[in-house]
Chain A
């Protein structure tokens, strides 16, 4: 029993080509085993190996397994790299026999990682809530006492003793509920950096220290300044812990979309090996394994149907609601659901290579990337904390020099409040939280956004160029007319034309070949095939020189066209593409093909136009066909007879007119134009999409994806702006207010407790606002 595919010289799912996002529970090692091509490489995680001497035992147990060429253990990581063609199950058994537990490294899948993360978050949440209650249960009563009696002064000995007890209790709060702020602040200080912890630790620390000075040395401060701020210290710590806990909860919701995608993955697969059906974890499915999927089950990996037929619901990946019929030879994608029949398929992409895994990976990356609009906030947050510290010191000095009595108390209060109210987090969170939700939301609609920059630019698109074939139309043209010249026979002409085109992959060529096949015409042999880019093709068949292409090509070769030019024009006016066919430099026929417009293209184009976007169609077809299709689709502007290499020039032309240009194409033929456009949209049909080829990938063939993508981008950008504006205003207004700028005019000075509450809830507000984006719905189609 061999579970490893070595046909291609490359191992299956445990191959060593992982990038930085693969196995995150172990290192890949950099030893000599890393690039062995002849055998598979599998990684095991060993449990229960407590001593270094276990290494030899485990290694030799594994080496004894038939097929294993080498086994090397990394004791620090508790992982073993095994090279050879042994079955994973045999390896696990061997380790168990040696007295240890082992599991496959890759078996730790995204689902598990996610569950683990949620568990860790839950633990952290509980801890924060506990800390909150400890702090508030001391701070609350203290504040109530202070408010009711107004007595927070230290004058008599009894008061000193009472406040000393409170001071010690507050220290307890600082220790139990606020320790992480202080440790964090100290560690970053040693690291020459400063963060939110620094501000909170300094703020609450100053308040507590000052209060203790008042308790121990009341004479050191003026009579009026003998206040203690223990209640503020405890409440601030409590509120900020509460803010962190609530933020953690709210953050969980921002990643719902990615959780849903990860949840699409099947956990097990039923593979057929040695004529037996086995249920195995999907991580163990290897390339070329034959997999059985019954009705109602998820497709575990990408593959090609080898037996049976069924309808598959691909809506989770493509947003396409109708189930897609699949039969032998068709491809199926991981994460989609088999609806009706039982099928056998051959695994063609497994593990990290499946379309679903790539989509998850791309969404994750995009969610973490930042649009340019967030860069200013980044620059500011890099300098923010030290600047706030400087403002706190400066404000204290100003109060001491120019403030009214008790200047010391004012100075302490203003410095503390400045430190507490400043919130770098709100600024830092503003952009990433919205991007996270926006990109996820788009993915749910079948729109994959590559990164933050694409997201931002998409919101500004003013002109959209649509490639005709395959974008506006179905891209599957059919032969509609064969008009023969002179003595020529339709069957014979079609045979020659189909033979000539059989080598070409152009959609029009394929239509002709298909038409010949439908009529049961057998094809001949082609020689001297020559493609004339953008014009047509030429080749020799049965000793005749055949030329097939557009009018330009025929004129160049001085072929007499006669009244066929008018016939061609008439066909073109019906949105058909007429092509001239010449045999031995004499016109033999016009063959017309037509490519129907996709059902929803017209409505989607209307949506774009309704949003003020200038829609332009681009095609290599002749003017008349282009005009007919454009009219049908409701497009006013079009470029016809554009050679493939000219497409990018058309994009540039619009850019020179000052437009922010979106270009939509199939992502393969249109790659240069997609790259040069401000935003390139690759349109995929089904799950077979080249998601690396464009800024934004539409997984569904429909042009509604364009309008959806632009709508999501606009909503996200609006959300980011709200967040950034809120965070900027909050800090720009809050810090000076806390420093006491309003005091000389209005006699207003901010209470540190209120500053603490404001700070705690400012970042929560940002996350909550970002979460609002989850409610976004693209306009009904």
Chain B
């Protein structure tokens, strides 16, 4: 019983660490074209890094049919746009100050983050 309890608590700790504390690596918006794929309930890559102070373009392709994935919101930049199915969509970002900008679907189940450095 003790073992089960320890395992259960460890599982809770693991959930906290995996979903909240762990910060995955960011994909860099570099020379090669970076395309964010919207598929299976996720943005991939979901964390991207862009340089500060210059306008950039981020491309999305939606392969997910669920209606939630259709809308892309970047609330801090007042961007809300529709991602067509299986078609590349370019979102233009203005020159940004350093910081973190979240992007997500209408229901926030698909989540990603743009880090401006």
Q: Which residues of B contact A259 (CB under 8 A)?
A: none
**Interface secondary structure of A, over-half rule:** helix
A187 surroundings in chain B (CB, below 8 A): 39-42, 44
Given the known interface contacts A26-B88, A77-B88, A369-B78, the answer about A193 and B16 at a Cβ–Cβ threshold of 8 Å is: no
Name B75's contact: one of A365, A370, A386 (CB within 8 Å). A370
Report the Cα distance A185→B59, complex, angstroms. 24
Q: Which of B73-95 contact A (CB under 8 A)?
A: 73, 75, 78-82, 84-85, 87-92
Given A400-B1, A428-B107, A428-B108: A368 touches B73 (CB 8 Å cut-off) = yes
Nearest to A429 among chain B residues (CB) is B107
Residue A353, interface by CB 8 Å: no
CB distance from B59 to the nearest CB of A (A): 6
B76 → A minimal CB distance (Å): 12
A386 and B42 contact, CB distance less than 8 A: no
Count chain B residues whose beta carbon lies closer than 8 angstroms to a beta carbon of A: 51
CA distance in complex: A432, B72 (Å): 12
Report the bound CA distance from A26 to B16 in whole Å: 40
Task: Verify B84–A25 contact, CB threshold 8 A.
Answer: yes
Contact of A368 among B5, B71, B91 (CB under 8 A): B71
Asked if A130 lies at the interface with its beta carbon under 8 angstroms from chain B, I say no
Q: Which of B25-81 contact A (CB under 8 A)?
A: 33, 39-44, 46, 57, 59, 65-68, 70-71, 73, 75, 78-81
Q: Is the CB of A428 within 8 A of B109?
A: yes
Using known A-B contacts A27-B57, A397-B5, determine if residue A117 contacts B107 with beta carbons closer than 8 Å: no
Query: Ordered nearest first, which 8 A-B pairs have the shortest CB separation?
Result: A428-B107, A368-B80, A184-B41, A195-B109, A187-B40, A124-B65, A386-B19, A397-B8
Give complex CA distance A407, B41 in Å.
35
- Chain A residue at smallest Cβ distance from B17: A192
Q: Which of A30, A195, A383 contacts B41 (CB 8 A)?
A: A195
Quick check: B108 and A193 within 8 Å, CB to CB? no
Q: In the bound complex, what is the Cα–Cα distance between A740 and B16 (angstroms)?
A: 23
* 11 A-B contacts (beta carbon < 8 Å): A27-B59, A28-B57, A191-B43, A193-B46, A247-B67, A370-B73, A381-B107, A386-B16, A397-B5, A425-B107, A432-B107
Of all chain B residues, the one with the shortest Cβ separation from A389 is B15
A20-B90, A28-B90, A370-B73 given; 6 more Cβ-contact pairs under 8 Å = A184-B41, A192-B24, A194-B19, A196-B109, A368-B82, A428-B107
Distance, CA A63 to CA B110, complexed state (A)? 44
Complex: chain B residue closest to A365, CB-CB: B80
Q: Given the complex of chains A and B, what is the CA–CA distance between A369 and B75 in angstroms?
A: 8
Total A residues in contact with B, Cβ cutoff 8 Å:
63
B89 to chain A, nearest CB (A): 5
A76 CA to B35 CA in the complex, in Å?
A: 12
CB distance from B1 to the nearest CB of A (A): 7
CB of A394 closer than 8 Å to a CB of B = yes
Q: Mark B6-17, 1 if CB is under 8 A from A, else 0.
A: 001101100110
B12 and A390: CB pair below 8 A? yes
Whether a CB of chain B sits under 8 angstroms from the CB of A161 is no
A117 and B40: CB pair below 8 A? no
The listed residue with most A CB atoms (<10 A of its CB), out of B44, B67, B88, B91, is B67
CA distance A186 to B39 in the complex (A): 12
CB < 8 Å neighbour of A381 from B19, B46, B108: B108
Q: Determine the chain B residues whose CB is within 8 A of the CB of A19 once the complex forms.
A: 92
Please give the distance in Å from B73's CB to the nearest CB on chain A: 6
Q: Give A203-246 interface residues, CB cut-off 8 Å to B.
A: 244
Nearest Cβ on chain A to B102's Cβ, whole angstroms: 9
Report yes or no: B109 in contact with A425, Cβ–Cβ below 8 A. yes
Give A393 to B12 CA distance when docked, in angstroms. Answer: 7
* Interchain CA distance A401-B8 in the complex, whole Å: 11
Do A180 and B40 touch across chains, with their CB atoms under 8 A apart?
yes
* A1 CB–B CB distance under 8 Å: no
Complex CA–CA separation, A276 to B9 (angstroms): 80
B111: nearest chain-A partner, CB-CB: A193
Using A27-B59, A195-B41 as known contacts, say yes or no to A251 and B67 having CB atoms under 8 A apart: yes
Contact residues in B for A195 (Cβ distance below 8 Å): 41, 109-110
CB distance from A227 to the nearest CB of B (A): 19
B contact residues around A424 at 8 Å (CB): 107, 109
Name the CB-closest residue of B to A400: B4
**Beta-carbon nearest neighbor of A20 in chain B:** B92
Instruction: Specify the chain B residue showing the minimal Cβ separation from A194.
Output: B19
Question: How far apart are A119's CB and chain B's nearest CB, in angstroms?
Answer: 10
Across the two chains, which residue of chain B brings its CB closest to A185? B41
Contact A193 B8 (CB under 8 A): no
Nearest CB of B to A638, in Å: 36
Question: Which single residue of chain B is at the shortest CB-CB distance from A380?
Answer: B108
Interface residues of A in 355-376 (CB under 8 A from B): 364-365, 368-370
Q: Which A residues are in CB contact (< 8 Å) with B15? A: 386, 389-390, 393
In the complex, which residues of chain A have a beta carbon less than 8 angstroms from the beta carbon of B80? Answer: 364-365, 368-369
Q: Which residue of A lies closest to B89 (CB)?
A: A24
A390 to B11, CA, bound (A): 8
The answer to whether B46 and A117 touch across the interface, beta carbons within 8 angstroms, is: no
Cβ distance B25 to chain A, nearest Cβ, rounded Å: 11
Bound CA span A124–B19, Å: 30
| A21 interfacial contact with B, CB 8 Å | yes
| A120 contacts partner chain B, Cβ-Cβ < 8 Å | yes
A428–B44 alpha-carbon span in the complex (Å): 21
Q: Give the residue of B1, B87, B109 whose beta carbon is less than 8 angstroms from that of A24.
A: B87
Contacts of B65 in A (CB 8 A): 120-121, 123-124, 127
List chain B residues, Cβ under 8 A from A394: 8, 12
| 0 or 1 for each of A60-97: is its CB under 8 Å from B? (1 = yes) | 00000000000000001100000000000000000000
Find chain A residues with CB under 8 A from B82 CB. Answer: 24, 364, 368
